Structure 1
Amino acid sequence: MSEKNLCILILNWNCLEDSLRAVSLLAKSPWQICVVDNGSADPAEASVIRARYPAIHTISTGVNLGYAGGMNTGMRWAFAERFTHCLLLNPDTTPTVQVVEEMLKLADDGAVVGTAQVTENGQPYISAATLRGRKVVPFQCATSCGIGHEVDIVSGAGIMVELGAANSVGFMDERFFHYKEEFDFCFRILRLGRKLQYSCGSALIHRRGGSLSGSSPAAMYYSYRNEILFLKKHFGTWAWISSLGLFRNAVMSGIKSPRTTHAIVRGLVHGARGVTGPLADLRIGGLAK
């Protein structure tokens, strides 16, 4: 395995206790930790983290840049500091040294490495996928074999990124703001001719939706809007129209949760119109997956 110079990047947005817990679990590891405060309502959160753990590096954006913008801030700093790799972590994850080491083993073969993830109750959920044309096929190793798997998409809640490759593709597309930015990033890495690997040996605990409930109107808006933006970007301006599954899922989501119907319709319309970035009146932060 070639030499890796790893920086662990944690994105904080109004979740001080989560970020402190995540930092504490890796504070004695051999890797540099960097916390990016993504415009928290209380600007003192970064100072609290820095005071508790003076050895880590902190960056304050001063404004919510979304997941992509916040992570890009940290990755660009790490790249300038000559780190070779960044591990991007949501603060609502529970990282361990073993998980990081298992991912590092695959970093020779993958410009991006994802990892198996489980809920706080130990229930596994899908954090990787392969592609068949435009069809996303969920991937999960049933045996946790530990040998690594080549995939096409990994979840942004915990991914290891080769910074040279990230720089080559221009890092993450900040126009997505929240959701689908890692899909887009993975696509561009693949088109660079590089591989993505998936670590199944040790699972990362992830309190999914810790900063934004996946069933909230805001989440529904970004999910459907960015699905269309993603399809338009990679498959052509009108490619989204033929995606029957997108509209079927939108109808089912609206039936299941009527309070999200307006946000879903708005997301579909804005996606078709090419609206990007944050939507202020949804009062949403752009932190976790």
Structure 2
Amino acid sequence: MTPSLAVIFVNYRSSKLLLDALSSLYRETAGTPPDVWVVDNASGDDSRDRILDAFPAVQWIDMGYNAGFARANNAGIRAAGDKDVLLLNPDTIVLDRAVEKAYAQLCDSDFVACGVQLLNPDGSPQISGNFFMKGGLNHLLLLPYLGALLRWIGYRSGTKVPNVREAGSVHPVEWVSGAFLMVKRSAIRQAGLMDEDFFLYAEEVEWCARLGKVGPLCIFGEERIIHLQGETVQDGKGYSGLTTRKDFQLMLSNHLRVRKQFGVGWFLVLLLGYTAGVPVFFLGNIFTLRGLSAPAQFARNVARLWWWTPRIIGGRPHFYKVL
């Protein structure tokens, strides 16, 4: 039974995926279905008509502009009143009553928030939970050549792997993927809503850091959903690029999160690491004859990070949207 749970989807031109997600949610709920809110980020298409025609019980919120992930979810969380909430991506398929089973376990535990095991479409496990690395230094692993060296040093020194690809039955973690993030209302009252400075990426990481000060988080590994990773992002899949506008949004959000969670010093360490990665990328591509277009695009994005640095360090509220 899930009457005390509200499920929140953020929609931006993803009605086809959302129809499949909603179908699976209702199909895989044996008891009373949860309240469902769809928060639309000015899709400008027929999403509303398509969703409400198929699922008239869904409650719809129009943001009126592309508000991103944090602001849109916050609108849904506010609308849900006193209910516990599940943030669920439109590019997900619920399996074997995963939502109500996870909710029953969460309610019967001391955990304040949980995720479930995410699966790729072929059934292979996908990273579902994570641990914080001091200062967000794990972001340096994305850097070409330099990242491979840092990864080798980390393995040689026995550094703890910062993520959980395949969870046990109950696997404590420090932050949970925003594709499926279920949170008790009592924890939200203490930790606050998601930080609305974020447009896209890293907002759930920063939120989990605050939720973790209220109580522990976990992955319920026996409950599973399919996550079509990156399908709702308009500029391609994946989260490891460095050269496109989407990649810059990710870089900016990650640096912003480090500033908020760990402070200015660690933010500067990360920024200087990315800056050092520019000449390494150029030299590596020269020696491997891979061309200089990608290093030049990366250098442009790092220069843009420096342009944003005074504002980030200043710490005043700002909507960091560049897409």
Normalised to the residue count of structure 1, the TM-score between the two structures is 0.83
Once residues 110 and 253 of structure 1 are traced to their aligned partners in structure 2, the CA distance between those partners, rounded to angstroms, is: 43
CA shift for structure 1 position 245? 9.2
Once residues 198 and 78 of structure 2 are traced to their aligned partners in structure 1, the CA distance between those partners, rounded to angstroms, is: 18
Q: Is contact 2:41–2:63 with CA below 8 Å preserved after alignment?
A: yes
State the match for 1:125 in structure 2.
Answer: 126
The number of equivalent residue pairs is 273
Paired residue type of 1:100: V
Q: Which structure 2 residues correspond to residues 150-189 of structure 1 after superposition, within 5 A?
A: 150-189=172-211
Structure 1: which 4+ aligned runs deviate by more than 4 Å?
Answer: 248-257
Once residues 152 and 279 of structure 1 are traced to their aligned partners in structure 2, the CA distance between those partners, rounded to angstroms, is: 26
Normalised to the residue count of structure 2, the TM-score between the two structures is 0.75
Task: Give the 3-state SS of the residue equivalent to 2:97 in structure 1.
Answer: helix
Once residues 50 and 270 of structure 1 are traced to their aligned partners in structure 2, the CA distance between those partners, rounded to angstroms, is: 43
Once residues 11 and 66 of structure 2 are traced to their aligned partners in structure 1, the CA distance between those partners, rounded to angstroms, is: 10
Once residues 206 and 234 of structure 1 are traced to their aligned partners in structure 2, the CA distance between those partners, rounded to angstroms, is: 27
Q: Is contact 1:65–1:177 with CA below 8 Å preserved after alignment?
A: yes
State, as a whole percentage, how many aligned pairs show the same letter: 28
Q: 1:269 aligns with which of 303, 306, 317?
A: 306
Paired residue type of 2:65: V
Structure 2 vs 1, CA of residues 260 and 99 (structure 1 numbering), >3 Å: closer, same or farther? farther
State the match for 1:38 in structure 2.
Answer: 41
Q: Is contact 1:229–1:271 with CA below 8 Å preserved after alignment?
A: no
Structure 2 vs 1, CA of residues 97 and 6 (structure 1 numbering), >3 Å: closer, same or farther? farther
Once residues 278 and 247 of structure 1 are traced to their aligned partners in structure 2, the CA distance between those partners, rounded to angstroms, is: 19
State the match for 1:201 in structure 2.
Answer: 222
Pairwise CA RMSD = 2.9
CA shift for structure 1 position 168? 2.7
CA shift for structure 1 position 205? 0.9
Q: 1:47 aligns with which of 45, 49, 54?
A: 49
Once residues 114 and 272 of structure 2 are traced to their aligned partners in structure 1, the CA distance between those partners, rounded to angstroms, is: 28
Q: 1:231 aligns with which of 230, 237, 258?
A: 258
Structure 2 vs 1, CA of residues 160 and 223 (structure 1 numbering), >3 Å: closer, same or farther? same
Structure 2 vs 1, CA of residues 128 and 60 (structure 1 numbering), >3 Å: closer, same or farther? same
Paired residue type of 2:41: N
Structure 2 vs 1, CA of residues 66 and 115 (structure 1 numbering), >3 Å: closer, same or farther? same
Structure 2 vs 1, CA of residues 181 and 68 (structure 1 numbering), >3 Å: closer, same or farther? same
Paired residue type of 2:40: D
Larger radius of gyration: 2
Quick check: which one's strand share is greater? 1
Structure 2 vs 1, CA of residues 201 and 76 (structure 1 numbering), >3 Å: closer, same or farther? same
Structure 2 vs 1, CA of residues 115 and 219 (structure 1 numbering), >3 Å: closer, same or farther? farther
Contiguous gaps of at least 5 residues in structure 2: 139-160, 313-317
Contiguous gaps of at least 5 residues in structure 1: 285-289
Quick check: which one's helix share is greater? 2
State the match for 2:71 in structure 1.
Answer: 69
Paired residue type of 1:207: L
State the match for 2:142 in structure 1.
Answer: none
